[in-house]
Structure 1
Amino acid sequence: MTNKEETIIETLIDNNNQDQKSSSNRWKMAIILGGLSAFGALSIDMYLPAFPEIANEFQASPSLVQMSLTLFLIGLCVGQLFLGPLSDMIGRRKPLLIGLLSYGIVSLLCIWSPSIWMFLLLRFFQGLTASAGLVISRAVVRDLYVGTELTRFFSLLALVNGLAPILAPIMGAQLLGFMPWQGVFVVLCIIGLSMFGIVVCGLPDTLPAENRAQSGVRPALLSYSRILRDRTFMGYALCQGLVFASMFAYISGSSFIVQNIYHGTATTFSIIFAINGVGIMLASQVTGKLAGRFSERALFKTGLITSASGGGLLFIAFLNQAPLYVILIPLFFVVSSVGVVSTAGFSLAMESQEKSAGSAAAVLGVISLTLGGIVAPFVGMAGEYTVVPLGIITTLCGMGAMGCYYFFVRPSHLTDNRWELD
């Protein structure tokens, strides 16, 4: 073998080792950031099976216990709006570590709540602290990646994050089988403190000092003002929010539909819920694989079309009193479209937000949670034995997302040879 051939082989081996190291680092980062972004789902879904037990413990009405979920979501929104711009000013690491440590402490305090009112207050603060993982993890993704690589990595993140809403209710139900409701919050405390240790050891600050925003309330407000006046960004944010609202409506009403109207068992509902959750993850993975071959905008619009058409077909199926197996087909497409829209939409929305990634991630998160919270009560407005409101809401949200895209998102010219749906 000649020296030249040996050099070529050594170069190929080095490149292969670098690729393997890069792939390993991507997975490591995806697991850490996916775990951080899953705090919202874990904090909600794990304690839902404990509602009756919590109500008995505090001698409280079911509506008061349900208020703990509302206050958690309010805290999650408020926290993002505060911690997003703060992370742009002082870096990602400090507010993230403070948030995780505080989350662990607040989760522990929930165990010793002397009354339902203290429990409600602590749930608000738990949402406030959980927002650190949610908003800062997304800002870190924008710090590390841009363009197609951002789309691909976000799809990887969605794979890890997507396991939380599938596994959390199962974990919560299993824990309640051998311990009281306080055990759920002990586990949440352990998760928070464990993630604190993982971030200390494995996640450096990804925002260099020279790229940080000016500190102060006024610069933060100016940053939000600029983001809210960005027509293209707000278009993508509203589209994502409305598609997310369709999924939130499904979460709110699906248990009543499956069990009360179609007389399915709790196990049947759990299987359907898990299948749709897997659909979101698969859709996100397909989007990541196709990024680079097709433009992010084309993939995004495909997701919007899937959501709108799935909502319309679902509404028609409801009106015709179709059997459950027919209903599940368009419902699967409505829910799975979230994986496409969120993956491609995040990349497109964050493309121009390098200097204010934390604030922009906060706006994206708050809009989705707000729209989801608004539509959820309307699912049951006609009672728990009708499916029509869910069909109307998913249709309107899907069509509304399409309308927001064509009204707000400015046309952009094709700059490469990839397929575009313009």
Structure 2
Amino acid sequence: MSGSGDDAPMTAADTAAPPRALMPGDLMSRRQRLRLVLVLGSLIALGPLTIDMYLPALPAIVDDFATSSSTVQLTLTGTLVGLALGQLVIGPLSDALGRRRPLIAGIALHIVASLGCALAPNIAALGALRIVQGLGAAAAAVIGMAVVRDLFSGSAFAQLLSRLLLVMSAAPILAPTLGSELLRWTQWRGIFAALVVFGVLLMLIATFGLSETLPPGRRQRGGALPTARLYRSLLRDRAFVGLVLVAALAMAAIFAYVAGSSFVMQEQYGLSEQQFGFAFGAGAIGLIIATQGNVRLLRRYSPQRILTVALLIGSAAALVLLGVAATGFGGLPALLASLWLALTAIALVMPNAPALALSRHGEAAGTASALLGAVQFGVGAVTAPLVGMLGNGAVAMALLIAGGLVMALVVLLLVVRPARLASTEPDPAVVVVH
């Protein structure tokens, strides 16, 4: 990519960072970075849309198939299982074959699975097809992260990831609201038909809007043994494993909210499908503010310091949320306020924990991103049905949110030891530009 005028490449002189080996993304103009964020944000949004868009329809699916709420929540679990397993496969494939081919194949699989969900004759078929949907969405999730790591490292990676999360934040905001509006005109099956249309648009974006970012010279050799060795090397890195667990436990808090919010707000607090959609979207305002504020914070503070403070605040807010849910004090406004603060803290955790983890293993960004995503969605797959098993009430949701954030804080302090990250972070320069 090249340009002139306001497309002039950014140089090291544009920042106050000390001299370092340049990554390909350092030579991109601001306009090119914005275009990259929009393309990758659209692709990574596939996962959140697949997960969240049908949330307002969960009670309707319960009635349509004459089944229980916990059984229908297993369709959410199926999607998360597909996302977890798919990333473990797609990550090493993308390190061996490049980013574009696995991405396009994954989107195609998602389109076919979405069409099947729209035509599902029973809850068992819907659950199985949701697993396949997750497998397809995994390609967009892991490759989107890997592309960013191909181009950037360190704080630059965390900053771009925060920009990317602005686009990604639109997905959970719009998904339940869009789903609830679609339910005005169609049944729950129409939501999956809309995902078919979105998948086709993403296929066009992936085909014509994204260049290959992993040249042949940087690709890993394929095969089961080299892949196993890569995973083993990642798992032997204590700080990496700890950061993956931190990100996964924060994700568990998110999925506790995702799995329980529709039942808590509609059945316990009496909101309509449309009111729930707007309430769910309103909670994401804090996510947007925090992710974009993270860019400014990174100019003054290290990612590990931001991560530590965010988990301290998030844990405190989640414990307040649990108290409100258990006592009913303050009603729905108090519940939403404490939930909003916890989600805001999570929004600061989510770009910084993955950025610190992936910055340690730029030589295998796809595999590292796959392991990160697989653990995140695997923990989410376990968390989602727990909300139903504990009763689908506000206490169940709040208990899992608080548990996830407090455990993440403990892992950060005892396993990762953030004060040591700056001196131990191996960030191999895969491309050096003179």
1:10 — aligned with what? none
1:356 pairs with 356, 364, 367, which one?
364
- Per-residue deviation, residues 99-128 of structure 1 (Å, max 9, x unmatched): 112222332343444554444332222211
Distance 1:345 1:263, change over 3 A: same
Question: Aligned with 1:412: secondary structure?
Answer: helix
1:292-307 equivalences in 2 (<5 Å)? 292-307=299-314
How far apart in 2 are the matches of 1:38 and 1:299? 25
Alignment of 1:255-274 (within 5 A): 255-264=262-271, 266-274=273-281
State the match for 2:320 in structure 1: 313
Deviation at 1:285, TM superposition (A): 0.7
CA distance in 1, matches of 2:80, 2:339: 25
Inter-partner Cα distance in structure 2 for 1:273 and 1:382 = 21
Alpha-carbon distance between aligned partners in 2 of 1:138 and 1:352, rounded to the nearest angstrom: 14
Q: 1:110, 1:119 within 8 Å by CA — same for their partners in 2? A: yes
Alignment equivalent of 1:376, drawn from 359, 370, 384: 384
Distance 1:299 1:107 in 2: 38
Listed as ranges, the matches of 1:340-419 within 5 Å are: 340-381=348-389, 383-384=391-392, 387-410=394-417, 411-412=419-420
**Is 1:25 paired with 2:40?**
no
Amino acid paired to 2:377: L
User: Counterpart of 1:349 in structure 2: which amino acid?
Assistant: A
Q: 1:134 maps to which residue?
A: 141
Q: Indicate if the aligned counterparts of 1:48 and 1:169 stay in contact, CA closer than 8 A.
A: yes
Aligned to 1:322, what secondary structure does the other structure show?
A: coil
Q: What is the aligned-residue RMSD (CA, Å)?
A: 2.7
TM-superposed CA distance for 1:413, in Å, is 6.9
For the pair 1:36 / 2:46, whether they are aligned, the reply is no
Distance 1:208 1:305, change over 3 A: same
Tell me how far apart the structure 2 counterparts of residues 67 and 382 of structure 1 sit (CA, whole Å): 14
Q: Is the 8 A contact 1:236 1:349 kept in 2?
A: yes
Choose 14-23 or 396-405, whichever is displaced more: 14-23
Sort the Cα spacing of 1:407 and 1:377 in 2 relative to 1 into closer, same or farther, 3 A. same
Query: What TM-score, normalized to structure 2?
Result: 0.84
- Asked if 1:67 is matched to 2:57, the reply is no
**Structure 2 counterpart of 1:239, one-letter code:** V
Change (3 A) 1:114 1:360: same
Rounded Cα–Cα distance in structure 2 between residues aligned with 1:271 and 1:393: 23
Larger Cα-atom Rg: 1
Which residue identity is paired with 2:251? F
Aligned mate of 2:213, from 206, 209, 212: 206
The 1:334/1:201 distance shift into structure 2, 3 A limit, reads same
Displacement of 1:130: 1.3
Instruction: Report SS of the residue matched to 2:329.
Output: coil
Query: Could you tell me how far apart the structure 1 residues matched to 2:339 and 2:120 are?
Result: 39
Structure 2 residue 200 is matched with structure 1 residue 193: yes
Task: Pick one of 207, 232, 241 that aligns with 1:234.
Answer: 241
* Cα distance change, pair 370–314 in 1 and its aligned pair in 2 (3 A): same
Give the CA deviation at 1:28: 1.2
SS at match of 1:293: coil
Moved more, 59-68 or 357-366: 59-68
Aligned residues: 402
Bigger CA drift: 235-244 or 116-125? 116-125
Checking the alignment, whether the CA contact within 8 Å between 1:260 and 1:384 is kept in structure 2 is no
- Structure 1 residues 15, 294: CA separation in 2 closer, same or farther (over 3 Å shift)? farther
Q: Specify whether residues 52 and 393 from structure 1 end up closer, same or farther in structure 2 by C-alpha distance, changes over 3 A only.
A: closer
Aligned pairs for 1:110-125 within 5 A? 110-125=117-132
Q: 1:164 is matched with which residue?
A: 171
Q: CA shift at 1:247, angstroms?
A: 2.2
Deviation at 1:305, TM superposition (A): 1.0
- Of 103, 106, 116, the residue aligned with 1:99 is 106
The answer on whether the counterparts of 1:231 and 1:408 sit within 8 Å (CA) in structure 2 is: yes
Return 54-63 or 127-136, whichever deviates more. Answer: 54-63
Map Cα deviations across residues 195-228 of structure 1 (whole Å, 9 max, x no partner).
Answer: 1111211111101111111110111111111112
Could you tell me which runs of 5 or more consecutive residues in structure 2 were left unpaired when the two chains were aligned. 11-27, 424-434
Matched with 1:6 is: none
Matched, 1:336 2:344: yes
Tell me the CA shift for residue 232 of structure 1.
Answer: 0.5
| Runs (5+) with no aligned partner, structure 1 | 1-12, 416-422
Deviations 1:245-304 (A, max 9, x none): 122222333344444544555555433322221211211111112213211111111111
SS across alignment from 1:207: coil
Work out the CA distance in 2 between the residues paired with 1:317 and 1:62: 24
Q: Is the 8 A contact 1:246 1:334 kept in 2?
A: no
Letter aligned with residue 356 of structure 1: A
Contact 1:84 1:359 in 2 (8 A): yes
Distance 1:358 1:264 in 2: 42
Q: Look up the SS of the partner of 2:29 in the other structure.
A: helix
Measure, in 2, the Cα distance between the counterparts of 1:414 and 1:228: 20
Q: Which residue of the partner structure matches residue 289 of structure 1?
A: 296
- Offset at residue 193 of structure 1 (A): 1.8
> In the alignment, what sits opposite 2:185?
178
Change beyond 3 A, Cα 1:261–1:175: closer
Give the SS at the match of 1:162. Answer: helix
Q: How far apart, CA to CA, are the structure 2 residues paired with 1:90 and 1:115?
A: 37
What is the TM-score of this pair, normalised by structure 1?
0.86
* Distance change >3 Å, CA 309–CA 51, structure 1 → 2: closer
